[in-house]
Amino acid sequence: MLTYMDIKKAINDKLKTKFANIKIESNNIREGIKRPSFFVQLDNIDTKKFMTVGRDRNLTVRIYYFPSDRYKNENELLKMKDGLETLFLYDGVLDVNTYLADVDNVELDVVDNKGQDKVLHCYFCLRFYENWNKTDEHEEEEMEDLYYS
């Protein structure tokens, strides 16, 4: 079964392949952040039953990048935009425990907090189809041969 922790771990692992020297924060970002660092969040989660055999999950991945310097960071943010775009769009697939999700579109914005701080916001949507491996709770006897004349 695919869990949200599996999805988040796959994203973090992918970030580590390209940005091994940048910390990925797991705490609430309001508690203070060390720079440079990433913060990953899953958002807009929508899960629907798919027929009776599985589920269809849609969610938004949000990656926040906090640059080294709060104020002088334009070049660093431009390089990170290129890096994140390439990382998630080049192969266009996120592999989560053999479940594959296409990454078709990556959006990148710089959030400016009234000149106090600039943070890069990278986000994209994922969709997973997962079959349930249900086992019959009630074992039924096989029907005997039926003859009719």
pLDDT in tens, 68-94: 998 889 999 999 999 999 999 998 999
d(CA 26, CA 40): 8
Peptide bond preceding 36 in cis form (omega within 30 of 0)? yes
At 42, is the secondary structure helix, strand, or coil? strand
d(CA 140, CA 49): 26
| pLDDT beyond 70 at 96 | yes
The residue ranges of every structural domain in the chain are: 4-131
Sheet holding 107-112, edge to edge: 23-25, 37-50, 54-66, 118-131, 107-112
- Can you name the CATH fold of 4-131? STM4215-like (3.30.2000)
pLDDT at 136: 53
The pLDDT-based confidence of 1 (bands split at 50, 70, 90) is confident
pLDDT at 135: 59
